Amino acid sequence: MTQMAAMFVVERLVHLAAVDVVIIAFYFALVLAIGWYLKGQSGTGEDFFMAGREMTAWIAGLSFLSANLGSLELMGWAAAAYQYGILATHWYWIGAIPAMLFLALVMMPFYYISKTHSVPGYLKLRFGESARTLSSVSFAFMTVLMSGINMYSMALVMKVVLGWDINFSIWVSSITVAVYVALGGLRSAIFNEVLQFILIWAGALVIPIMGLIEAGGWTNLKAQIAVRASSEYTHLWSTLGSFKDNPMGIHWTGIVFGLGFVISFGYWTTDFLVVQRVLSAKDLRAAKMAPIIGAAFKMFVPFIVILPGLLALAVLPQKLVGEGAAVASGGHSYNEVLPLMLARYAGPGLLGLGITALIAGFMSGMAGNVSAFTTVWTYDIYRALIKKNASDEHYVKMGRWTTIIGVLISVGTAYLVMSFLSIMDYVQALFSFFIAPLFGTVVLGMLWKRTSPAGGFWGLLAGTVSSISMWAWVKADPSALRYVALSPNARDMAENMYRALWSWIVCVTVTVVVSLLTKPKPDSELVGLVYGVTPIPHEKDMALWQRPIFWGAVVFIVFVLFNIYVW
């Protein structure tokens, strides 16, 4: 969501009735009530930071997905669907499902059995303090900055959609999140994320239902899009044979290897924002089932995000345009597609619920950032580097204060972005620098016991530095795109994917070479951390339908069928 200031016209898109305001106010009251109710259940570090490790698979799974389902994601990908067609679905299917299943069935046993508090905490156990410090400092720094960017973007959306003052939106939403997370810790964040997940669906599902009725069903919708835009807009794979044949300027190798493998696996298996939710599961089976449940619901998110964008191509009387053109002409931009569709079908009450869904999406994402930041700061930076042997009570108190301070830093970032818009582009690029190499380090550490502590650290550092170098190279010399992204016709998204792929390859190569040249840890120190030396509880005593592998296979088959249906 770049260049936010220029992306909306000035007039507000919708007008709320009294019942809509009541619904929004009730939502705020309920999330605060949940935080207040749970404040007595967060007295220990295990309770505050890990939700007592007693969440069921369903709660951990819905929370896992909800922390990712921010409102900017909803609005941004609906806009992308209008602009690029059904290609945007790749970010929900191949860009998520295989990675989530891999996390559940391959990586979760090691995260869970090691009893780590965080992903940087796993790096400490596997590779030592230097790898943890590199990972935790970069994660903590980027998480609060991203939270601030999302906060500013959401406040701008509220200003344009509802006419709300930006300062009012920033402070009301951030104080609410700070209060309920500081009071109840991760448990409060997770409870609210489950509630927010339900409200997102309840508020957003009306649009595709009514839209499909108006368009006359899926077949008629495709026919109308073919007339008003292009038939390519409803094909997922068949246009990816060449960079020039599709509006994204992307090749199938970028989607499969860059997005589907490196970026997706990096985000879903090593970003602590989402992994933290699964670590709160009550046992190993629940921890394995949680990402599978998340994957099952993730497959259906395009129905409330991508489908509204496609429906808008067919039913909206006006043509939506880019941000600059919208400002110049006084028209509407792609980014307004979801509020426009909401205003088209939602009368009083439904409109309030739809706006609540957007606010809930924003708050779930922000609470995810803040609770992950709090845990990494307290356990992986403060306890590891600043104060090693304090009491559990001291760390919980630090966690509560860190929640508030993290929110305040986010608010500061939001105001900084308001003054210097270009910061958004840089921070979002910075965030991508760490994800792909981290996946290389973690997956090698889990699956190859020969990986040495030195190999893990230098591989992670080399991968990150190579990613930054490629980004700087293209910034300084745009013609370098032909080398980084393999084609001068590639666009921003393609560049991101190939940069992630190369940095992952650099990370893995350096890790392997350095590991072979240095001394590995003995097997006795790798128990619970690495495949081959960790006893993993078998599931042979369970009925077939109780086994995570069975449900993982079911989700994967449905995923394949969906892709074939819209090939």
Partner 1 sequence: MRKGGGISIWFFVGVSLLVNGALILGAGVWEILYPPTNPVVLFRLHANVWWGAALLLLGIVYSLKFSPNRVSS
Q: Which is nearer to partner 1, 221 or 446 (CB)?
A: 221
Here the contacts of 234-238 (C-beta below 8 Å, separation 24 or greater) are 234/85, 234/86, 234/310, 234/566, 235/85, 235/86, 235/566, 235/567, 236/86, 236/87, 236/89, 236/90, 236/563, 236/566, 236/567, 237/563, 237/567, 238/567
Q: Does 527 bind partner 1 (CB under 8 A)?
A: no
Q: How many residues bind partner 1 (CB under 8 A)?
A: 38
Task: Say whether residue 52 binds partner 1 (CB under 8 A).
Answer: yes
Our finding on whether 208 is near partner 1 (CB under 8 A) is: no
Any contact of residue 21 with partner 1 (CB under 8 A)?
no
Residue list 29-48, contact with partner 1 (CB under 8 A):
30, 34, 37, 41
Distance CA 226, CA 274 (A): 38
Report the distance separating Cα 138 and Cα 132, nearest Å: 10
Q: Which stretch binds partner 1 (CB under 8 A): 129-137, 299-307, 330-338, 350-358?
A: 350-358
Binding window for partner 1 (CB under 8 A); candidates: 4-12, 219-227, 304-312, 341-349:
341-349
Q: Which is nearer to partner 1, 191 or 377 (CB)?
A: 191
The DSSP bridge partners found for residue 52 are none
Q: How far apart are CA 436 and CA 467, in angstroms?
A: 9
212 touching partner 1, by CB under 8 A:
no
Closer CB to partner 1, 336 or 380, in the complex: 336
Q: By C-beta, is 22 or 536 nearer to partner 1?
A: 22
Verify binding: residue 560, partner 1, rule CB under 8 A.
no
Q: Of 348, 412, 478, 488, which one interacts with partner 1 (CB under 8 A)? A: 348
Is 217 a binder of partner 1 (CB under 8 A)? no
CB of 135 to partner 1, least distance (A): 30
Site for partner 1 in 308-337 (CB under 8 A): 315
Q: Which residue has the tokens 């028209």?
A: 331
How many alpha carbons fall within 13 Å on the CB side of residue 541?
Answer: 3
Number of neighbouring beta carbons within 10 Å of residue 220: 13
- Least Å from the CB of residue 401 to partner 1: 24
The set of long-range contacts for 537-541, using a CB threshold of 8 Å and a minimum separation of 24, is 537/284, 539/285
Judged by CB under 8 A, which of 103, 340, 353, 359 binds partner 1?
Answer: 353
Among 6, 9, 13, 19, which residue sits at the site for partner 1 (rule: CB under 8 A)?
19
Degrees, nearest 5: CA angle 75-274-171: 55
Selected from 69, 96, 104, 195, the binder of partner 1 by CB under 8 A is: 195
**Residue corresponding to tokens 């350095």:** 514
Residue with tokens 């190999």, as numbered in its chain: 455
Distances (CA, A) of 33 to 44, 362, 368, 483, 517: 21, 18, 18, 54, 57
Please select the residue that binds partner 1; options are 12, 175, 214, 534, rule is CB under 8 A.
Answer: 214
For partner 1, give the closer residue by CB, 18 or 544: 18
- What is the CB neighbour count within 10 angstroms for residue 329? 11
Q: Which residues bind partner 1 (CB under 8 A)?
A: 17, 19, 22-23, 26-27, 30, 34, 37, 41, 52, 54-56, 59, 191, 194-195, 198-199, 202, 206, 209-210, 213-214, 315, 343-350, 352-353, 356
